[in-house]
Every structure is written in C-alpha cells, then in structure tokens.
Structure 1
Amino acid sequence: MPDTNRGDTPLYSTTAETLLALGSNGETGLTGSEAKNRLDQHGPNEVPEEKRHPLLRFLKKFWGLSAWMIELIALLSVALHKQADLLVAVLLLVINAILSFLQEQRASAAVAALRRQLNVTARVLRDGTWQTAAARTLTIGDIVRIRAGDFVPADLQLIDGVLQTDESALTGESHEVERTINEALYAGATVRRGEGTGVVVATGARTYFGRTTELVASAHPKLHVEEVVARVVRWLLAIVGILVALTLVVSYIKGLPLLDTLPIALVLLMSAVPVALPVMFTVSMALGSMELSRRGVLITQLSAIEDAATMDVLCADKTGTLTTNQLSLRRVEPLHGFSEGDVLQTAAFASNEANADPIDLAFLRAAKERGVGSADARIVSFQPFSAATRRTESIVVLGGRTMRCVKGALRTIAETAGLDAVAIAELEGRANKEARNGVRVMAVARADDEGALALLGLAYLYDAPRPDSRRLIDELRLLGIRVKMLTGDALPVARAIADVLGLGTIVRAPDLHIALQEAQERGTEMAEDADGFAEVFPEDKFLVVKRLQAAGHVVGMTGDGVNDAPALRQAEVGIAVSGASDVAKGAASAVLTHEGLVDIIDLVKSGRAIYQRVLTWIVNKISRTILKAGFVVLAFLATGQFVISALGMVLLVFMTDFVKIALATDRVRPSEHPETWNIGPLVKVAVALGLLMLAEALALLAYGWHRFALGDGGGRLQTFAFQTLLFFALFSILSVRERRAFWASRPSMLLASALVADAVVGALIGIHGLAELRPLPIAQSLLIATVAGVLVLGPNDLLKTSLTERALKRLRKLSPEKQ
C-alpha cells in the first residue's frame, strides 16, 4: 500500500515499488520519448503565475497622487464651467495612463524574459546518460541527481544517498533535516550537505511546495536612488509648499476667488511630484537588464545594476572566473611500487561524473583517454568533497574484492594513510615546487578489503588562467575597480597565478584571522591592502567582504557554491558565476552565463549609464521645479495676475515628463570612476541652473509685458508664459543630459524625437491657441524659442560645464559608501 506524501502523488514505502508503479528505470531513467509524452500529459514542472487582468492594471493608472491632482483639477474645471480645461485634463490623464501602461507592459515582458532564463536546472538521467535540463522539463518518473548547493526541483523519493536538507522555505524551521534512501524530498528544499539520486514523484502545482517558479530569490530591497529621490522631492515639496502658501495668502488679501487660485496651487504642487520617475526608472532598468541578458548577465535584483555603478572592489573567485575552470591532469607520480594506472584508476573510482565537479571530470577524462577504467566496477557508495574532510571517498566492488578509494588534499590523505612527519614533509616539498608554477597537487590512496589505507601516489592538476583575464583586470582598474583574487589553493599556487594575472600581494586567509584577533583595524587594513587571498575557506569570503565594507567600500563578490551564499548575499553586488549552484544563484543579485570577467565589465558600465540617466533626471527635476514654481509665484506677486493657467501648467508637466521618460533610452558616457550617491555638489549645480533660468525667464516675461502689452488681457499672457517655460525646459533637458558641453554627444533617436515633438506641439499651440491659451504672433513665438535656446545652450551651458566639473572633482574625493 502506498503512503501519501505531502504532495498529491502516492509515495510507496520503497523506491523499488515507486519505480515499478511509475514505470521508470533507476539505471537508465526515462527515454526521451517517454519524458516528452509524460510532460505533455502532466504539464511543465512549474506553477502557473497568477497575473492581474490587464484592465485592472490599466485602471490603477488613475489612482495615485499625480492622477488625483489631475482629477481634482478636472472637477474644479466642471465647477468653474471651463469645458476646454476639463477636456484637456481628461485627455492628458488618459494619454498618461496609456503611455505608462504600455511602458510597464514592455518592462514586464523584459522581466518575464529574464525570469525564463533564470529557471533552475537539474541533472537528469535519460536514455541512460546524465544530462542537464531545465527543471521545468522534469516529469514524473525522471531520475534526478542532487548534491550540496542544489534546490530540490520537484518532489522526489530517494533511491540512494544521504543528504542534509534545509526545508525552511516549506516549514519555516531553519534547522537541517536528514533524508536518506526511500524518504521523500520536497520541491523548494535546499541541499546543504551530501548527494543522492531520486525519482520524481510529483511536479508543478502537484508538489508539496508547489512553487518551483519561485526558486530564484527575488528580493526587492529599497534602492539607494529611491532614498535620494525621496529626499530631493521632500525638499522640493517643502519649497513649493511655502510658495503656494504665500500665493494663497496674497490671493486672500487681494480678494481673489479661491476656485480661481486653487487649480494653480494644485498644479504647482504637482510639479514637485516625480510623475515620470517611476516609469523612466522602470523602463531604464528593464532595458538595461535586457541588454545585459544579451551580453550574458541575468539580473535577479534591481539593486545589482544600481550598486554596480558604485562598486569599487571586486572579490573574484580564481576558478572559473580568472581561470578556465578546465582542469587537466598534467602527470601522475606513483609511489611505493604502484603504477600510474593504479593511481589514475583509483582517482577515477573516487570521482563522480553526475556531480560535474571539475576535479572529478579531469580524472575521469584522463582515465578514459588512457584506458585504465573498468566497466565491471560497481560503486557502492560515494562521499563528495567537503571543506571538513578535504577529500572524496568511494567504496568500489571490482572482481570480487572491495576497495576504499580516496583522493584529496596531500597532508590530509598522507596523515590518514599513516605517513610520518618526515615523509609528509618530503612530499610537501615536491608539491610546493610544483605549486610555484601554479600546479595543484592531489594525493590518491586505496585500501583493499579491510586493509590499511595506502598512499598510491600524487596527481598534478593545472587550471590555466583565462587568456583575457589580465586584460580585463586592467580594464576594471581603469574603471576604478580593484580586483582581489580569492582561492582555496595553497599560497605558492595562488602567487604563481597572481603573477600571470598582474596581481600583487597575496596573503593567506589564516593570516587575516590572526590579524583580526590582534586588532580589528589591522585585519581591515590587511583586507584592503592585499590583492588576493590563498587557502580560503568559503566562510573566509564572507569575512573579507565584511572587512572591506567596514572600510567604506562597495563590494562585488563572485561565487558558485552553496557555502558562497553568505558572502554573495552580504556583498552589495553578489555575482553567481557560470555553472554556479542553485543556492548561489538564489543568494546572488546577478548571474553570469559566460565564464570570466567580461560580463562584469558590462554590468559595471550598464550600471553607471543608468546612474547618469537618473542623475540627469534629478538635476532636471530640481532646476525645472525652481523655474516653474518661482516663475508663477514671483510673476503673480509682481503683476497681481496668474501669468499661466492651470491648463497651461498641466500641459507643461506632461509634455516635459514625456520627454524625461525618453531619457531612459538616451546615449550616455559611463564614468571612468565608481559613482556615489553623495550628490550634494550636483544638487547645488541644479539649484544654480534653476535660479539662473528663473531670472532669465522673468526678464523675458518683463520684456514681453512692456513690449507686447501682455497685461491687456486676451489670453496672450498665458500663451507667452507657457511657451517661455516650455522652451526653457526643452533646451535645459538638451543641455543637462551631457556633463560636458551639450554638443559633446548626440541624444538618442527617441529622446531627440520627443524633444522635437514637444517643440512642434508648443509652436502649434502658440500659432493656433488652445482653450484660454490664445494665439501669439509667430514672431513672438520665434523670439521666445530663440532667446531660450541662446541663453540655455550658451552662457547657461558654459556655467553648467564649469560647475559640473568642479562638482565631479569633489565627488571623486568622496569614498563611495552606502546611503
């Protein structure tokens, strides 16, 4: 009789019964056609994502601070019987909702595409061979291999192996649970130690966990830019609030009707609200993520792109990042009368192909090439490498005899085999000589039947540095990022590789522990000064990251194993390298699909480009809010009239916000230095530009007031003020987008098109009028556009370039730090 597991599929008391019931073979797995048929029958191994109806998401665009203000203006227009104002307000509300909805749809599609690329993979036995496949393609009856660092991809029943699993995602309890033969493993659990083989008994929504699409961690921490923008907007709202209060008081003293004043006050407050930022930032991040995915970087947390802009230290794993991760067996040195074949065969028996471990694969490949394997051998048990044991071990039955086959660290294996200190020292001397050339030495031992373990010999492995690693390290240095190599290799091996890569001082991780015990400051100083660490255990990576952060650095960390997860999570930019375990991917904020550092360089440049776009938005927002609010209020105090209507201000807000959304696509030049969110100096630049434009716009209005008799009524004053603010804003965007002179780079096609479209619409409103915005003579419109363009792109741009250069120099003196 079957038992019932916590999923929907019956679980028999033994895997033999389960395999029979499911029509599966534990030795060969399913055939490809069987797997396809079952997948068609049971569906993919995933839970359908619950999606909100598009109509509900569209209607939500009419809910929020900006939408409420426009809706209130529409209601006031009804109360004041201003039908034209009502029509324009409603049109703007609908157009803004449509544009925002379409952009979010585009961003959502980008995120969904990234999510599909981040699906968990599994090692599955099909047609008698082990294959790597997406977890969503698993089906009932599949034979799956799992090991430390994996998420359990479906509900399984163990055929062999002993595992320690973390089921906190299912139960909320964080302690480890041991699972062994015939017991169930549930989708969503994490394998902490051990390895084993299991048969899939439930998939997708039928599993106990039922959430395989959530296996990749998708934390959404508050972004630094959100804090910076929130702080800026609070200040702008405070300034505009004071100006609005002043306007209301003066209006009351002059006896102006409240219903005439309130719409203007509302629009002024709305001008301080970041209407376009959420869409611009979402689109910018989504486009950046998609571009990075095409270059081999999958983003799991938005904070990765942002923090990559400020990262100034990268701690890089040697294996697979700085080296090829293609270990080759250089030679075998047999001892005590054993042959090379004995050493190589034993090392191969102590390896497991299903684990895809580079060391195991190197021995298996060499044994196959030299024909020293044996098809008759039967592996009874296999214990994978762990930092605690520093070896792999298997029990093998061959030709009627039982052998214990071991390979691992030289001193560990030699001591286990009973060698004395003199013999061990002599062997280590040979190993150290090879290590100075970057060669890694492993010991191989065997025990026949119940006999003592005998050391058979030494095996020399080499993992060559990637041909492009040194060039890429130099390129990262030019970007202001210092690379620190982390490796578990002995100090001589680490120094040999460091010499090839152009890295300097390499120290032992144990020495860092000693320094920290003596004084925390000394340990932190050692972490900063060293170019790399040798003899690193996984927990040492976490320590290095913490020490560098304590010194004020923004740290990137690469890793691939389950034990790297704490360091990946701690680092601001946690990067799971190609071939990383599922746990490492879950802890990281970015996942590489190519080996090496080239993808990291793309991540840094993309982060810095997005930083520049956001910075452009912030500078523009501050300067234009000062211009609009100051212009309306000061002109009102000087003339006693509102020089621009609520309709004109609403048009300005949305026309210029449309342009600012296009900033997400703008061409930018990434900085050659790590960025910082200590943007105080650049905020001062924005304030200076805003005050200068305010003075120029008021001067132009004063000229028009006296030269064209704008105060005589007829609505020309509102049109003149509308075009003045519009053209100053458009030329300001063109200037501020470039830190150097405005002509140093071309805007993107979309941004240029948006600027031209706004200018054309503004000109047409001036020619034909709109509601209370009465037509102006073409000569006056040309005068406004010419004066705004000459001033903003002339003296203002020169001042901007000078002030920005000083501000950037000050920012470079500031150490990047988390805000």
Structure 2
Amino acid sequence: MIETDIKKYKKLDVTEVISLLGTSISIGLTDELVEKYRKTYGYNELPEKRPSLLLKFIKKFWGVTAWMLELIIVLSLLLHRQLDAYIVTGLLVFNAVISFMQELSAQHAVETLKSKLHVSSKVLRNGSWGVIPARELVPGDIVRIRLGDFIPADMKILAGDIEVDQSAVTGESQEVESTKSDVVYSGSIVVRGQADCVIALTGSNTFFGKTVHLVQLATPKAHIDDIVKKVSFWLLLIVGIFLGIAVISLKFTEVSFIEALPLSLVLLMSAIPVALPTMFTVSTALGSLELSKKGVLVTRLSSPDDAASMDILCVDKTGTLTENKISVAEVKAFGTYTKEEVILYGAMASQGANQDSIDNAFLREAKEKKLDLNSFIQARFVPFDPKLRRTEATVINMKNEKIYITKGSFQSVAKSCKLSTEEVKKYESQVGLFAQSGFKTIAVACKQRQDGKTVLIGLVALIDNPSGSAKVAISRLHQLGIKILMLTGDAFEIAKNIAQKVSIKGEILVAKAGGEFKKFDFTEELIENNAGFAEVYPEDKYTIVQRLQTLGHVVGMTGDGVNDSPALKQAEVGIAVRNATDVAKSSASLILTRGDSLMSIVEPIIVGRKIFQRINTWIINKISRTTLKVVFIIISFVLFKKIIISATAMLIMLFMTDFVKISLATDNVTWSQKPTKWKLKGLIASASLLGVMMAIEAFGLLAIGLNYLHIGIDSNILNTFTFEILFFFAIFSIFIAREPGRFWDSIPSNAMLVAIALDVLIAIVVSTFGLLGFKPISVSITLFIIAYSCIFSLLVNDFIKRKVFPVRYSEVV
C-alpha cells in the first residue's frame, strides 16, 4: 500500500520516493502498474455529489408561481369549485414535471460540455513522453510541469527549479520557490520555470482534498436576472394599472372580491416571466453544444450571449493571425562564429518536450542541417520567461567544458551581453531590416565560462506566415460590425507587415515608451483609425481591455499564456486559442480546439446573435400577449360588469402557450448583422402597442360573437369563446414577433411548428368536445375564430409591425 500522507513524502528523498512508488525516472510507469494503481486509488478526481432528484422535483412546488397556483386551489375549494381545483392541481403538477424535465435536459447539455473540457498533463510512461487527461494520472507517474500549468496532483520534484502560486491551496499570497526534493500541491499554478516530478498523491488523497475544477460551466445569472427584473417590472406595472381599474369597478357590479381574486392572481402570475431563465438556459445550452461540434468549447454558458454584443476583438498575432508554424528564414553570424554554430547553440538552449514554437524552429533547423546535438549534454535549462523574454541553458561539450547559452529577444539578450549604445544601434539596424521583411528576430549569445563575458554570436530571423484564412476571417468579422485590434509583443515593423497582409486597416501604435506602457488617450477616434499596438507586454493587454471597456465597448480578447489570463478574465469574451496554457483556458469563456483560430471566433458570434433574437422574440411575445389578455379581460369586465373568462381557462391557456414558447429556443431566426444591444424600453413600448392592437381586434371578434353568433346567452359558452379568441391571437402573434421583416421571410424550426400544431389541435379538441370544464362550441365557430385571428395577425398586425411602430427590430438591436 502506497503512503497517503503528504507529510511523509516531504521527509523522504527522491530515491526513496521513486523506490516506494515502484516507478523509474527514465521509463516512468508501465501500463500494468498504471492499471494496478488505478484500481487501487481510482481516477485523479473527487466524485461529484449530485443533489437528490426527488428533492429537486419537490422544489418545483415552491416559489412565486407555485404559491399562486396553490392559493387558487385553496380559493376554488372554498368557493366549492371542485372541478376548477382539480384542473389547477393537474396544471400545477404538469408544470412541475415539464420544468423538471427541462432542467434535467439543460443539465445534461452542461455535463456533455463539461466532459469535453479537461486539463492535460505531460507524462512519461513506458519510456516515452505523451499527453494524457490529468484525471488519468496515478501515483508514481513521472510528469513535466512548466510555466502556466495547473499542478494536477501532489507531487515531488525530481529535477528543475520552479516558482508556484499556491494561494488557492495554502493561502500564501507570495510565490513559493521550489526545487529538487520539494513537494508541490494540487491546485497550485506554475508561474516560472520547469520541473520533472513524480506524482505522490491523487484525487481525494491530496493535500487540497480534491482536484481543482479547472474549467467550470456556470449558469448565467447576473445578465439574464437583470433582463428578467426589467421585463417583470413593466409587466407587473401594466397588470397592476388595469387590476386597479377592475377593483374600482367592483363597486358597480355584483361580483365579490373573493370571486374576482382567482382571476386576479392568474393575471398577476402571467406577468411574471418565469419561463425566461429556463428558455435562456435551454437556448445557450443548445448553442454551446452546437459550438462544441465546430471546435469551440464554452466554459461559461452566458458567453455566446456576450459574444453577440461584442464590438471590439483584440487579437494576438501569433497563432491567431499567423499559422504559428515558425521556421528559420535567415541567419546572421558575428565574430568567429558560423551560421551553423548559431543554430546549434540556439537548439541547445531549446527543449522539444515543451512544444514551444521558437524552440521547435531551432531544433528542426538543426536537424535539417544535420548538426550533432548529441555532442552536447544539456545540464541545465530555464524555459522562456515572459518577463525576461529569453531562455537559458548550460551545456557540456565533449571536452567536459561548460557553455552558458542565452536565446531570446534582442533587447533582453543585449542587456545580458552588456552591449554599448553604439553596438546596440549597429545590431538594431539589422533587426530593423529583418522586421521590414516581416521577420521576428531571435538573438543568440554564449559565454565559455561562468565568470566570462556573454558574447552575442548571431541573430536569427524567424518567419510565421499569416494564416490562410486570416484575411477572409477578418473581412467576415468586419461585416459583422466588429473592430479588430491587433496586440503583439513583436516590433513595430513586424506588426505593420502582418496587419497589411491580413487587411487590418489603420496605423500600428507602439505601446512602449521608456519601458512603460504609454498613457494613450483612448478615444473613439483612436480606436477607429488604428489597427492595433506593437511591443505590448502580456500584462499591458489587461490595461488596453479595461480602457476600451470604459468607453462602453464590449470587448473580446484572444490569448494563450499565463500572463494573458488577467486580460482574458477582464474581457467580456475571453478566448483561449488551441495551444493555450491551463491558466489561460481557466480564465477564458471560450476555448478554441481547432487550428483555424480566427475563423472559429465567427461561430460563437453568430450563435450568440441567434440566441439574442430568440430571447428578443420571447420578450416581445410575452409582453404583447400579457397586454392583450389584461386589456381585453379588464375592459370587458368594466363594460359588461362580469368576468367573461374563468381563472381555470386562463391557466390552461397560460400553460399551453408556455409549452410553445420553450420551442423558440430552436427557432430559425433572422439574426442581426451588427452587434446586439438590449434596449428594453423601446422593445416593451412596441410589444405593448402590438398587444393593444390585438385587444382592439379581439373586441371586434367578441362583438361579432355577441351580436351575430349569440354566444352571450350562455356564460359558459362565452367562457369557451373568449378562451379561443385569446388563445389563437396569442399563437399567431408568435409568427409576427419572431421575424423582423415580413412573417414569411424565414421558416420556423420543425420543433416549433410541431409544438404550435399540437397546441392548436389540443385547443380545438378541448373546445369542441367540452373537456377540462369548457362547454363545447361548434367547429364552424372555432374555424371562424382561427380565420379572423390569422388574417388580422398575419396581415394587419404584420404590416403595422414593419411600418408604424416607432421602435422596430433594427433600432432595438
């Protein structure tokens, strides 16, 4: 049995730990041992506690809507309306079941996404390095951790020096230096360096007590809650005003307050948009699943909605605008060194296991030139540090001599070489020539002994060609109304060259002056006339994003490194590219899994705008239908001194139409070609006007029924007639609310058409055969009501929607 107390591992040296775990530094674990340890200790995760499904279902009978229904049941029993009580009880249970099933469906969608989001680890097994999901790690695995990695388990360092941020684990705010034989904890973050380690404890045995959930899928709350509150306020205001009129009118009728109370409760309940959060969750969950099939993983369900409003996208050059396939274009050697030696020394200050693009370029070039890397032993290696902007290595040659090599940006290497001002100017002219050709310059320096002088031995020009689809993607993003700003740490000339090749119009601004980020006066003119910023350090991206947001912009940001994470978190739409570090992925709301990064960004924008329009349709339909019901019922009560529709009939209609509204989450909508913005006052005004128009038309139909069809003789027949008027106007209003142009400009989804057809069929059957407490009316009267409401909705109201309303779709978004 392996030791499960991390304190014991602290006391053991590296050799003892290796022996205890039965592993090998050079080979790692064998497949047989991996299987054995997994059976004993399980996966590297903490079993998730799932809430009781029964408890979830019971909670559906608790809440504002449920309370109102339960109060109506009690009032119906007190008024000896047993049939009404039974029907409302059935509707209460039906609503709970439907809501419960929708919640399970949305949860399943979230879990499906979550299963696709995992952290990977570099692991040595059977003598070769590979990448596996962190949950598959077992005690005894040899792993490599580097800058930007989350530490997935408790482990002991075998070789290397790192700094870790373990504030999430131990509460220490300072970064902790760790070296050979030190223990580092699950949940910590590597902020500098690289190390090979052996896994000691996994899953629930770790010091932290559980594996950190690196990517969490959060149900949107703040944004949609704000929309719900505003819509609820206006709906309750409309209902409240008309109910006030009804209460005053009670004095002039024979209807008691108790008799009017159930209907009043139903009208109040209809004003609460209880289905909006569910509809939003279902829409975003379905949208997120659609995106996952297109190489975009969603880590926060509200991110497609944020992408719909994004109007500025800050993009990193490398890997987003370019192919991220760096190769050597040209080499300049200095002094007695040859071009081959510059490449050889640069390759010796690289490691292929890190999958660093610059390191790989040097290693590939050395291999192509058949340079003998085996004649050197890499005794020490310090991977690229974004702050120092260089890598360092100590190598030993065949004569057992140590050579200290530095490889990185010219400015960084020049400082370590202590070049004079004249020398810097001399070499910068060559760097400038490389930059004009679109090349990135890497300087290589070395010293032959520890106390010797570091000598610049050469400059290597690297090229990263623009992505083949970058120009097309940028053109598409411009069509969608999104401004592109390029942010790059490369020199001005390189940034300018790439911007021109991919058609990002405007000037490139140099972000640095004297080592400090320039205090630009961020104005709309500056954003409009410029293509981006060059010589930007990763930490400056946060400042740029923040300043854009202060101008009222919704900002997207692409990134891949640990130092990009503050900017990715700050941006409304943080986008981690395919090869991003774990820290960047955990900070982002979208993760790209395919190489064509920029083109992949288009998809969540389109999906988000579709979701926006579906919610837009839901709000328009909800407000217009509520206005129709309240105005029609209250005005008829004032005119006829009686309630012409029962509370039960209203409840049945409310639940039947809500059933259809959820299908809006699948609708084929006409989405906006520009960034979307919520302008609820205009939206509510238009929807209310539409509701008033439908109420006027409904009174026309009621007049025909009373004067020519004689439905007023029997109050029960009048109840059924009124139900059909309100129901069919509500159904046909969906077709004009969903489409900003003419209602036939787009075809509803199959799911929505099926839901509407079923709803209409149920309404006809209920009215014709007198089910659920309705008194039957003839099919001919029902068909007349359908024809009347269809003509006025699809012809008259559709025309008014496009030509008369002061706030149309184009102005709303």
Query: By how many angstroms is 1:488 displaced?
Result: 0.9
> Which shows bigger deviation, 369-378 or 561-570?
369-378
Q: Which residue of 2 aligns with 1:31?
A: 30
What is the CA-CA distance between 1:569 and the residue it aligns to?
0.8
Please provide the CA RMSD for this pair.
Answer: 2.3
For structure 2, list consecutive stretches of 5 or more residues without a partner in the other structure.
Answer: none
Inter-partner Cα distance in structure 2 for 1:153 and 1:221: 27
| Alignment correspondent of 1:569 | 569
Q: Does the 8 Å CA contact 1:323/1:466 hold for their aligned counterparts? A: yes
Q: Which amino acid aligns with 2:229?
A: A
What amino acid sits opposite 1:557 in the alignment? Answer: M
What residue number does 2:608 align with?
Answer: 607
1:337 is displaced (CA, Å) by 2.2
Cα deviation 1:444-479 (Å, max 9, x = unaligned): 122223332222222121111100000000000000
- Which of 679-688 and 108-117 deviates more? 679-688
Q: Distance in 2 between matches of 1:6 and 1:571?
A: 41
Aligned to 1:624: 625
Name whichever of 160-169 and 284-293 sits farther off: 160-169
Match in the other structure for 1:346: 345
Matches within 5 A, 1:61-76: 61-76=60-75
> Superposed, which structure 2 residues align to 1:398-477 within 5 Å?
398-399=397-398, 400-450=400-450, 451-477=452-478
- The equivalent residue for 1:261 is 260
Instruction: Please give the alpha-carbon distance, in whole angstroms, between the structure 1 residues aligned to 2:617 and 2:638.
Output: 31
Query: 1:816 corresponds to which residue?
Result: none
Q: 1:640 to 1:509 in 2, by over 3 A?
A: same
2:193 corresponds to 1:183: no
Matching residue of 2:312: 313
Query: Contact 1:110/1:290 (CA < 8 Å) preserved in 2?
Result: yes
Residues 5 and 427 of structure 1: CA distance in aligned 2, closer, same or farther (over 3 Å)? farther
The match for 2:663 is: 662
Shift in Å at residue 114 of structure 1? 1.1
C-alpha separation between the residues in 1 aligned to 2:641 and 2:513? 72
Q: State the one-letter code of the partner of 1:476.
A: L
Instruction: Give SS of 1:201's match.
Output: strand
- Equivalents in 1 of 2:81, 2:6: separation in Å? 63
Write out per-residue CA displacement over residues 1-55 of structure 1, whole angstroms, 9 at most, x where no aligned residue. Answer: x999875974443222111110111222223343233223321111111101222
Letter in structure 1 aligned against 2:198: V
CA distance in 2, matches of 1:469, 1:706: 68
1:120 and 2:119 are equivalent in the alignment:
yes
Q: Measure the CA separation in 2 of the matches of 1:192 and 1:252.
A: 75
In 2, Cα distance between equivalents of 1:147 and 1:557:
24
Per-residue deviation, 1:513: 9.4
Residues 224 and 293 of structure 1, relative CA distance in 2, 3 Å threshold = same
Q: Aligned equivalents of 2:191 and 2:343: distance in 1?
A: 30
Q: Could you state the TM-score of these two structures normalised by the residue count of structure 2?
A: 0.95
1:538 CA drift (Å): 0.6
Shift of 1:521: 3.5
Kindly state the Cα deviation for residue 175 of structure 1 after the two structures are TM-superposed.
2.7
Residue correspondence of structure 1 range 134-213 to structure 2 within 5 A: 134-212=133-211
Over 3 Å counting, the alpha-carbon distance change for 1:644 and 1:132 in structure 2 is: same
**Distance change >3 Å, CA 259–CA 86, structure 1 → 2:** same
8 Å CA contact 1:554, 1:572 repeated in 2: yes
Q: Is the 8 A contact 1:407 1:442 kept in 2?
A: yes
**C-alpha contact 1:155 1:203 (8 A) present in aligned 2:** yes
Following superposition, the deviation at residue 249 of structure 1 comes to 4.1
**1:690 partnered with 2:668:** no
Post-superposition offset of 1:325:
0.8
Count matched residues: 810
Question: Is 1:801 aligned to 2:799, yes or no?
Answer: no
Secondary structure of the structure 2 residue equivalent to 1:210: coil
In structure 2, how many angstroms separate the alpha carbons of the residues matched to 1:458 and 1:282? 54
Which whole-Å CA distance do the structure 2 matches of 1:319 and 1:522 have between them? 25
Partner letter of residue 679 of structure 1? L
Instruction: For residues 622-676 of structure 1, give each alpha carbon's deviation from its aligned partner in whole angstroms, at most 9, with x where no partner exists.
Output: 1111011111111111111111111100011100000000000101122110000
Judge which range, 741-750 or 269-278, deviates more. 269-278
One-letter amino acid of the counterpart of residue 120, structure 2 = T
Tell me: CA distance 1:140–1:252, structure 2 relative to 1, closer, same or farther (3 Å).
farther
Alpha carbons 2:802, 2:808 under 8 Å: kept: no
Q: CA–CA distance in 2 between the matches of 1:52 and 1:401? A: 64
Change (3 A) 1:15 1:171: same
Counterpart of 1:759 in 2: which secondary structure?
helix
Counterparts of residues 518-667 of structure 1 (less than 5 Å): 521=521, 525-595=525-595, 596-667=597-668
Mapped partners of 1:165, 1:659: distance in 2? 53
2:643 partner letter: F
Per-residue CA deviations over 1:205-252 (Å, capped at 9, x if unaligned) read: 111223325122555664433312311111211221232243344335
Report the Cα offset of residue 416 of structure 1.
2.6
Distance in 1, matches of 2:457 and 2:281, equals 60
Residue type matched to 2:533 in 1?
F
Counterpart-to-counterpart distance in 2, 1:516 and 1:564: 16
Q: Is the 8 A contact 1:223 1:306 kept in 2?
A: no
User: 1:515 deviation in Å?
Assistant: 11
| Cα distance per residue 1:389-413 (max 9 Å; x no partner) | 2211011123211111111112332
* Amino acid in structure 1 at the alignment position of 2:716: G
1:740 alignment counterpart: 741
Paired AA for residue 80 in structure 1: L
Match of 2:377 in 1: 378
Partner in structure 1 of residue 390 of structure 2: 391
Contact 1:513–1:523 (Cα < 8 Å) also in 2 = no
Aligned to 1:728: 729
User: What corresponds to 1:706 in structure 2?
Assistant: 707
Task: Give the structure 2 partner of residue 817 of structure 1.
Answer: none
- State the AA in 1 paired with 2:470: S
Residues 291 and 396 of structure 1, relative CA distance in 2, 3 Å threshold: same
Give 3-state SS (helix, strand or coil) of 1:359's partner: helix
Equivalence map 1:220-369=2 (5 Å): 222-251=221-250, 254-369=253-368
Contact 2:224/2:277 (8 A) holds in 1: no
For 1:773, the equivalent position in structure 2 comes to 774
State the AA in 2 paired with 1:796. N
Provide the secondary structure at the position in 2 that maps to 1:195: strand
Structure 2 vs 1, CA of residues 381 and 690 (structure 1 numbering), >3 Å: closer, same or farther?
Answer: same
What is the distance in 1 between the residues matched to 2:116 and 2:312? 28
**Aligned pair in 2 of structure 1 residues 665, 522: CA closer, same or farther (>3 Å)?**
closer
How has the CA–CA distance of structure 1 residues 567 and 746 changed in structure 2, closer, same or farther, with 3 Å as cutoff? same
2:346 is paired with a residue of what secondary structure?
Answer: helix
Q: What is the letter of the counterpart of residue 580 of structure 1?
A: A
- The structural deviation recorded for 1:771 is 4.3
Secondary structure at 2:547 match in 1: helix
Q: Secondary structure at the match of 1:197?
A: strand
> Structure 1 CA distance, aligned partners of 2:766 and 2:421?
93
SS of the aligned residue for 1:17 comes to helix
Amino acid at match of 1:162: D
Distance 1:131 1:441 in 2: 31
User: Structure 1: how far apart are the matches of 2:372 and 2:256?
Assistant: 96
More deviation, 362-371/435-444: 362-371
The unaligned stretches of length 5 or more in structure 1 are: 813-819
Structure 1 CA distance for aligned equivalents of residues 611 and 171 of structure 2: 38
Contact 2:729 2:793 in 1 (8 A): yes
- Deviation (angstroms), 1:695: 0.9
Query: Which is further off, 496-505 or 87-96?
Result: 87-96
Shift of 1:371: 2.5
Question: What's the % identity of the aligned pairs?
Answer: 42
Cα 1:697/1:669, change in 2 over 3 Å: same
Q: Within the alignment, does 1:129 sit opposite 2:128 as a pair?
A: yes
Find the residue that maps to 2:371 and give its secondary structure.
coil
Report the CA distance shift for 1:220/1:91 in structure 2 as closer, same or farther (over 3 A): closer
Task: Please give the alpha-carbon distance, in whole angstroms, between the structure 2 residues aligned to 1:368 and 1:379.
Answer: 17
Partner of 1:83: 82
**Tell me, what secondary structure is at the counterpart of 2:511?**
helix
Q: CA deviation at 1:155?
A: 0.8
Amino acid at match of 1:683: I
Shift of 1:511: 5.3
The Cα of 1:804 is off from its aligned counterpart by: 6.4
Whether the 8 Å CA contact 2:164–2:176 is kept in 1: the answer is: yes
User: In the alignment, which residue of structure 2 is the partner of 1:98?
Assistant: 97
Q: 1:77 to 1:573 in 2, by over 3 A?
A: same
Matched, 1:487 2:488: yes
